[in-house]
């Protein structure tokens, strides 16, 4: 697995496993252990996902040293205060059975996000989290945050896939030195990029699945990418993307697929 260096010098695995909508503890543990076996060390969860405890148990069961793991969690929108954010973080740490996190994010730019950010800055300065960032923040949200922040966000995690490529946000984050992280990187399961004829053609050329082509595309754009799966074979396939490269022409062809089509 390859790493990306964040703006504070911390290294984050560029490929991780997303935990969204995996609420069955047994299914989650099987997925996490399969991912560990496939070489994943980066796991992305959130208070909203209600699976932090199961993730913590699975990681403990894996036998991998905690210092070799990178776990992200997120504070949910119902928390609107400084104290509430610190308590939410403490709750997440306890459920995950960890003494620190790799990355902690504000899940959405909703009420109180400046107070929440102040709490994240203090958690960071206390060494309880290696990096802090945001999720689903657009240009206006970032500008407001940066006008008040002592610590610049290390990451903005946003929806991105071949049909929703966000070139303006990409350029902005690059200029700001904020890492771009993609959630839902494969797009819709039905009637989406996974069924796109061009991507199928590129996959056939490289003897790869469409999902592998899409993940490789994200990686070559310099993004952190967290595809979600609970199927052992797909988890392995999604990680088997470091033995080929898309050509400049193929990258350009995929760029043309953009429809500015969000799943929200």
CB-CB contact of 100 with 130 (8 Å): yes
CB-CB contact of 57 with 69 (8 Å): no
107 assigned to a ligand binding site: yes
The DSSP bridge partners found for residue 15 are 225
Catalytic residue selected from 49, 113, 124, 164:
49
CB-CB contact of 42 with 70 (8 Å): yes
Does residue 49 carry a catalytic annotation?
yes
Residues in the chain: 264
Phi/psi of residue 163, nearest 5 degrees: -90, 0
The Cα–Cα gap between 31 and 34 comes to 5
| CB-count exposure of residue 216 (10 Å: 0-12, 13-18, 19+) | buried
- In order of 43, 84, 138, 165, 203, the CA distances from 168 in angstroms are 27, 33, 10, 9, 27
The string of DSSP codes covering 70-136 is EEEEEE-TT--SHHHHHHHHHHHHHHHT-S-EEEEEESSS-TTHHHHHHHHHHHHHTTSEEEEEEES
The Cα–Cα gap between 14 and 8 comes to 16
Residue numbers in the known binding site are 107
Residue numbers in the known binding site for substrate are 107
Q: Catalytic positions, please? A: 49
């Amino acid at each position: 697995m390859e790493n990306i260096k964040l703006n504070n010098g911390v290294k984050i695995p560029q490929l991780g496993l997303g935990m969204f909508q995996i609420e069955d503890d047994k299914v989650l543990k099987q997925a996490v252990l399969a991912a560990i076996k496939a070489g994943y060390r980066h796991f992305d969860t959130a208070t909203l996902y209600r699976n932090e405890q199961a993730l913590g148990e699975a990681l403990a069961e894996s036998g991998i040293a905690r210092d070799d793991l990178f776990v992200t969690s997120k504070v949910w929108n119902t928390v609107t205060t400084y104290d509430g954010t610190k308590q939410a973080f403490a709750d997440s740490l306890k459920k995950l059975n960890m003494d620190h996190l790799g990355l902690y994010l504000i899940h959405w730019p909703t009420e109180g996000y400046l107070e929440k950010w102040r709490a994240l800055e203090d958690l960071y300065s206390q060494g309880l989290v290696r990096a802090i960032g945001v999720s689903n923040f657009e240009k206006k949200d970032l500008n407001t945050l940066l006008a008040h922040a002592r610590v610049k966000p290390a990451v903005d995690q946003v929806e991105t896939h071949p049909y929703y490529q966000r070139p303006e946000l990409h350029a902005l984050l690059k200029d700001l030195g904020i890492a771009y992280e993609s959630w839902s990187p494969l797009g819709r399961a039905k009637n989406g990029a996974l069924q796109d004829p061009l991507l199928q053609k590129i996959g056939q050329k490289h003897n790869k699945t469409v999902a592998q082509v899409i993940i490789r595309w994200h990686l070559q754009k310099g993004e952190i990418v967290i595809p979600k799966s609970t199927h052992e074979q797909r988890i392995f396939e999604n990680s088997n993307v470091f033995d080929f490269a898309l050509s400049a022409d193929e990258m350009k062809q995929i760029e043309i697929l953009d429809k500015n089509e969000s799943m929200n």
